[in-house]
Amino acid sequence: MLDPASTYSFDDTASFAKASEEKVGAGYVYTRWANPTIDAFEASVADLEGAEEAEAFASGMAAISTTFLSACSSGDRIVAARQLYGGTFAILTQTLPRYGIEATLVDVADHAGIEAALDGASLLYCETIGNPRIEVANLPVLGKLAAAAGVPFVVDNTFASPVLCRPIEHGADVVIHSATKFLGGHHDLIGGVVCGSPPFLNKMRELARELGAVLSPFNAWLALRGIATIQLRVERSSAGAAKIARVLDEHAGIDGVFYPTLAGGSGADLAARLLGGHGGGTLAFDVAGGRERTARFQEALRVIMRAASLGGTHSLIVHAASVTHTQLTDAELDEAGISEGFCRLSVGLEDHDDLIADLLQALEASA
């Protein structure tokens, strides 16, 4: 049920004062502190992830930045996988250093490098499926490294969703989602959520409520609607992505395809162990011919939309270097494995054969 109220009245001043002091648990006072619809969304996601509690935010980036700021202070250092969403990369390398929090980026598969970097660090961060090259992180190994170093292990599970992976079962302490993606699932809301234990979340809540980047009740209601169909959507999206990846992998106009379950790929074993044999609803590929041909290719698409998001009902494609990872320099793009022809495709709920036909005609038209 949607409760859109921003503030709540009380019958007596004593109850009002008590609820205002406690913020949560003694009655609803102000939606920046707590709201019934937002509480329902948080409880639903916590249950999906197997976490004790959850805290919702106005966006995925609000969830990520508040997590970093609540867990770290000036002089601290975060160790993070190099394979990250461009916004997260910018927070770690450009924003947090202004406040004395540094970041060490290491390839997600370089476990020895991560172990060495964790000496003296305050937090380990990665994505279950890295954006945009769709690389699966070995969560059990990383969880053990974080535990040995005595630091919290934070995992962004947006690309996998709790349908394919529950990182807490593999050693994560904290799980983050952009609710805009698979949780919401309809390209009509912006939101984020952090799942974890009360000690971690309580400290984060204090900061979150002062910063004010809270999820709106209406967006929480939309996300609850999306969660009702998340398993069906993720399974269909994943099946379509796998089928498309196999077709593109054999096409002369494609220099490379990045998807965990491709035969011979390095991620197949991890996908089998952590993702139930699925690869997720997003794939990536390099269009032969560089940026100019890639632009022609994307403009020739008729069914797939050129838009910057994923995990929804419609298939969306982006050119990573000019849309999702503009925060990276040319050298950093090269280091992250993002070429001039690199495209990220989020597969929606359309007919799989229609999507394949659209991709093939666009490759032919742009050749």
Looking at this protein, which amino acid is placed at residue 199?
P
Question: pTM, whole model, 2 decimals?
Answer: 0.94
Same domain assignment for residues 43 and 67: yes
DSSP letter for 188, please.
Answer: -
Angstrom distances, CA of residue 49 to CA of 16, 41, 247, 270: 34, 12, 33, 19
* Residues 253-287 as b or e (16 or more Cβ within 10 Å = b): bbebbbbbbbeebebbebbeebbeebbbbbbbbbb
For 96, 121, 124, 174, the CA distances from 177, given in Å and listed in that order, are 20, 23, 16, 10
Q: Where are the beta strands (DSSP E) in the chain?
A: 53-57, 77-81, 102-106, 123-127, 153-156, 174-178, 192-196, 254-258, 282-287, 305-306, 316-319, 342-346
For residue 297, give the CATH number of its domain. Answer: 3.90.1150.10
Peptide bond into 217 cis (omega under 30): no
Query: Smallest Cα–Cα separation from 273: which of 145, 167, 345?
Result: 167
> 77: domain CATH number?
3.40.640.10
Does residue 5 lie within any of the structural domains? no
Q: In sequence order, what are the residues at sequence separation of 6 or more whose Cβ sits closer than 8 angstroms to the Cβ of residue 193? A: 41, 42, 45, 54, 55, 56, 57, 63, 176, 177, 179, 183, 215
Is residue 1 in a domain? no
| Residue closest to 175 by CA, chosen among 150, 195, 148, 147 | 195
Listed residue (312, 315, 341, 339) closest to 328, CA to CA: 339
- Same-domain check for residues 198 and 263: no
Nearest Cα to Cα of residue 180 among 349, 316, 57, 304: 57
What is the domain range of residue 55? 35-227
Say whether both 83 and 196 belong to one domain: yes
Task: Note the Cα 45 to chain centre separation in Å.
Answer: 14
> Is residue 240 a part of any domain in this protein?
yes
Tally of domains in the chain: 2
Same domain, 133 and 277: no
Supply φ then ψ for residue 287, to 5 degrees: -80, 130
Q: Of 201, 227, 253, which residue constitutes the final position of a domain?
A: 227
**The pair of three-digit structure tokens given for residue 335, joined into one six-digit string:** 């280091």
Q: Do the beta carbons of residue 80 and residue 103 sit within 8 Å?
A: yes
Q: Which residues are catalytic?
A: 32, 85, 156, 181
CA-based radius of gyration for the chain: 21
- Which residues, in sequence order, are CB contacts of 12 under 8 Å at separation 6+? none
Within a domain: 28? no
Residues 255 and 195 in one domain: no
- Give the tokens for residue 326: 């503009």
Residue owning tokens 């490294």: 145
The position carrying tokens 């790929």 is 265
Closest CA relative to residue 189, chosen from 201, 197, 177: 177
Task: Please indicate, yes or no, if residue 16 is contained in any of the structural domains.
Answer: no
Residues 142 and 261 in one domain: no
C-alpha distances out from residue 43 to 28, 46, 165, 206, Å: 16, 5, 18, 19
Per residue of the chain (367 residues), give pLDDT as tens. Answer: 899 999 999 888 888 888 877 766 667 899 999 999 999 999 999 999 999 999 999 999 999 999 999 999 999 999 999 999 989 999 999 999 999 999 999 999 999 999 999 999 999 999 999 988 899 999 999 999 999 999 999 999 999 999 999 999 999 999 999 999 999 999 999 999 999 999 999 999 989 999 999 999 999 999 999 999 999 999 999 999 999 999 999 999 999 999 999 977 668 999 999 999 999 999 999 999 988 899 999 999 999 999 999 999 999 999 887 766 667 677 776 776 778 889 999 999 999 999 999 999 999 999 9
Does residue 170 share a domain with residue 300? Answer: no
